């Protein structure tokens, strides 16, 4: 049987790492990440091992068979067997050669480095197999950078498929492989380790400890696999796979290389389709190692602050640099309560100096990821951190043309284009430091004639600055006013509410009235619903006719049909999954 597709739904996402429920969505029988068993493996529970695999190499090309171990395909009335041909797989070094015989299959598709370069059938946008096997993964893992490239290409090209890289996984690297985009693992390395008297653990291979009666049997190997998969599934739910991947990478030089190459691929890709624009789940981003600085999310923030963000229009004369705080958002900390009391002017543009984000403007402290990160606080800065911060300050000074910089951060600045006044005397919160900060603000107000602007103007300009950073436009705010008690505000125009700002969400909650203005700005992602489709529920791949604009998870998306605006939705899947990702892609918000 080759026809029936795997029933699967994404129940949690963390970049390329996804937790799938398999089978009936109301009562799933298994999950991925999970294991694929071979004929050599012992029987394992369906919950951890949804598939079994057989390779028949009696005649070339080898015949591959992948079977479900439960009723995982609609209408859930039996097991399914998918057969495919491996094709002729050449070594990765011969990628320029075309064997002419590629792997093929319907629901189980074998792919090699060679087929990625020569098989034009992979371009077919409608092909989304249930499972894909990167058949030459062991060879690619020994070729510099090729494994990372292959996984990245396959993951983006087949967003609905489960991906398996046979022969390279273990409890020591499954978090890293999941972070890269792999969904299914096998016991090949564990069998080899067992035969050699080695125990393959989450911390890497090691000899069993006889004092604790450890052994290298397959029962022991599987116990470590079970723990690793349980930990990985939990990490996907909590959004901490990156932390697990960084820890796992330290188990071997090869894993460190894989993480670095994966990060480099993400950084070279200029779009933000893998990122999340909003996250109010309560999770914290813990940046505990230098490797964390290479995360795409960090680089995206730095680039947007350095090259795109503009302060509120009335705060373009004086820049006040402040230290960060352990409490997020910063304004809730005791130290920033004291800073705010000693900045008696709303004409100062307050910017926090921090690592790994570099700079966080006050008007952006409530948004993702500025309000959600934790770092070890030692009071020391390394050369890389100082270089990044100085470079970002130079960039924003050039773009904003500040006349004066009040430096209360304690960082030594290298600025030639603007006057800098250091105000820190010992600790930032000492009486002497706070007095110096207060006096410097008052002096700059007098020096440049910076009278406070009315509070209603201050509020709307803050909203415009936030909107420019989040959405790339503030056109929809023209003629609007801001009302309400801090920190929650309503934005109105002609006595009609356009949106609300709640710092706990870190985004604008748009009303129906705002949607035509958002469409007119041309800056919001839009999707077209298929002609004739009666839109009732959420957004699924079968609803979509067209997509325009970059989509990040959490983004507000305008919904059109026949070029007419009919409502809005909020993305629950990042842009790389659109339009063929499995299950719901966006949750309906408004219908006009």
Distance CA 546, CA 526 (A): 8
- Count how many residues are written for the chain: 592
Put simply, whether the predicted model's pTM sits higher than 0.85 gets the answer yes
Looking only at the bridges linking them, the beta strands covering 526-529 and 556-561 are parallel
Mean local confidence (pLDDT), 506-518? 96
Three-class DSSP category at 276 = strand
- Banded pLDDT at 99 (limits 50, 70, 90): low
Q: CA 174, 180, 182, 183: dihedral to nearest 10 degrees? A: 80
The model's pLDDT over 7-51, given as tens digits with 9 standing for 90+, comes to 999 999 999 999 999 999 999 999 999 999 999 999 999 999 999
The model's pLDDT over 397-429, given as tens digits with 9 standing for 90+, comes to 998 889 999 999 989 888 888 999 999 998 999
Residue 468's nearest CA partner among 313, 280, 355, 573 is 313
Look up residue 13 and give its DSSP letter.
E
Q: In sequence order, what DSSP letters do the residues of 192-250 get, joined into one string?
A: HHHHTT-EEETTEEE---GGGT---SHHHHHHHHHHHHHHHHHHHHHT-HHHHHHHHHT
The confidence score (pLDDT) of residue 1 equals 44
Domains of the chain, residue spans:
8-86+107-268, 309-448, 454-511, 525-592
Q: Are 387 and 414 in contact (CB under 8 A)?
A: no
Q: Residue 223: CA atoms inside 13 Å, Cβ hemisphere, count?
A: 9
Structure tokens at 127: 């092909």
Mean local confidence (pLDDT), 512-529? 96
Place of tokens 């070729």: 143
Mean local confidence (pLDDT), 442-451? 96
Buried b / exposed e along 425-456 (16+ C-beta atoms within 10 A): eeebeeeebbebbbebbeebbeeeebeebeee
Distance of CA 40 to the CA centre of its chain: 37
Distance CA 164, CA 135 (A): 8
- Mean confidence (pLDDT) of the chain: 92
The model's pLDDT over 104-160, given as tens digits with 9 standing for 90+, comes to 889 999 999 998 888 888 887 678 999 999 999 999 998 888 999 999 999 999 999
Direct distance between the N- and C-terminal alpha carbons of the chain, in angstroms, rounded to an integer: 45
User: What superfamily does domain 309-448 belong to in CATH?
Assistant: Uracil-DNA glycosylase-like (3.40.50.10630)
The model's pLDDT over 324-358, given as tens digits with 9 standing for 90+, comes to 998 999 999 999 999 999 999 999 999 999 989 99
User: What superfamily does domain 525-592 belong to in CATH?
Assistant: PUA domain (2.30.130.10)
Q: In sequence order, what DSSP letters do the residues of 129-166 get, joined into one string?
A: -SEEEETTHHHHHTSTTHHHHHHHHHHHH-TTSEEE-T
């Amino acid at each position: 049987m080759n026809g029936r597709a795997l029933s699967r739904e994404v129940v949690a996402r963390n970049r390329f790492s996804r937790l799938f429920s398999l089978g009936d969505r109301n009562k799933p029988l298994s999950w991925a990440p999970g294991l694929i068993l071979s004929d050599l493996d012992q029987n394992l529970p369906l919950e951890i091992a949804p598939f079994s695999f057989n390779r028949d190499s009696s005649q070339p090309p080898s015949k591959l068979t992948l079977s479900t171990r439960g009723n995982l395909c609609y209408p859930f009335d039996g097991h399914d067997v998918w057969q495919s041909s491996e094709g002729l797989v050449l070594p990765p070094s011969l990628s320029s050669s075309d064997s002419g015989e590629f792997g093929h299959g319907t629901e189980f598709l074998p792919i090699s480095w060679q087929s990625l370069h020569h098989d034009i059938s992979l371009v077919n946008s409608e092909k989304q197999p249930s499972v894909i096997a990167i058949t030459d993964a062991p060879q690619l893992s020994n070729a510099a950078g090729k494994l990372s490239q292959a996984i990245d290409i396959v993951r983006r090209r087949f967003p609905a498929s489960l991906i398996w890289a046979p022969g390279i996984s273990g409890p020591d690297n499954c978090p890293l492989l999941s972070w890269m985009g792999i969904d299914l693992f096998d016991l090949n390395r564990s069998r080899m380790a067992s035969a050699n008297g080695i125990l393959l653990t989450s911390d890497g291979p090691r000899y069993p400890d006889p004092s604790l009666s450890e052994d290298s049997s397959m029962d022991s190997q599987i116990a470590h696999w079970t723990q690793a998969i349980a930990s990985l599934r939990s990490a996907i739910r909590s959004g901490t796979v990156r932390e697990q991947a960084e820890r796992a990478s330290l188990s071997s030089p090869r894993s460190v290389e894989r993480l670095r190459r994966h990060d480099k691929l993400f950084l070279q890709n200029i779009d933000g389709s893998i990122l999340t624009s909003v996250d109010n789940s309560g999770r914290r981003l813990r940046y505990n190692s230098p490797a964390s600085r290479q995360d795409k999310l960090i680089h995206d923030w730095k680039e947007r602050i350095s090259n795109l963000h503009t302060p509120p229009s009335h705060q373009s004369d004086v820049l006040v640099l402040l230290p960060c705080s352990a409490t997020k958002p910063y304004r809730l900390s005791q130290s920033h309560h004291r800073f705010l009391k000693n900045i008696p002017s709303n004409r100062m543009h307050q910017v926090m100096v921090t690592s790994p984000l570099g700079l966080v403007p006050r008007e952006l402290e409530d948004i993702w990821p500025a309000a959600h990160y934790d770092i070890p606080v030692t009071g020391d800065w390394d050369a890389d951190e100082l270089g990044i911060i100085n470079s970002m300050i130079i960039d924003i000074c050039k773009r904003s043309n500040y006349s004066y910089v009040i430096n209360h951060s304690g960082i030594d600045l290298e600025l030639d284009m603007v006057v800098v006044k250091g105000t820190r005397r010992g600790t930032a919160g000492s009486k002497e430091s706070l007095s110096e900060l207060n006096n410097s603000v008052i002096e700059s107000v007098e020096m440049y004639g910076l009278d406070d602007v009315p509070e209603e103007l201050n509020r709307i300009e803050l909203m415009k600055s936030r909107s420019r950073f989040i959405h790339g436009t503030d056109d929809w705010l023209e003629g609007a006013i801001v009302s309400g008690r801090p920190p929650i505000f309503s934005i109105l125009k002609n006595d009609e509410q356009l949106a609300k700002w709640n710092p706990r969400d870190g985004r604008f909650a748009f009303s129906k009235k705002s949607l035509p203005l958002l469409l007119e700005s041309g800056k919001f992602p839009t999707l077209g619903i298929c002609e004739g489709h009666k839109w009732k529920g959420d957004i699924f791949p079968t609803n979509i006719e067209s997509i325009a604009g970059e989509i990040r998870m959490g983004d507000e998306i305008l919904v059109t049909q026949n070029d007419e605006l009919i409502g809005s939705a909020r993305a629950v899947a990042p842009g790389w999954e659109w339009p063929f990702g499995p299950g719901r892609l966006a949750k309906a918000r408004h219908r006009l």
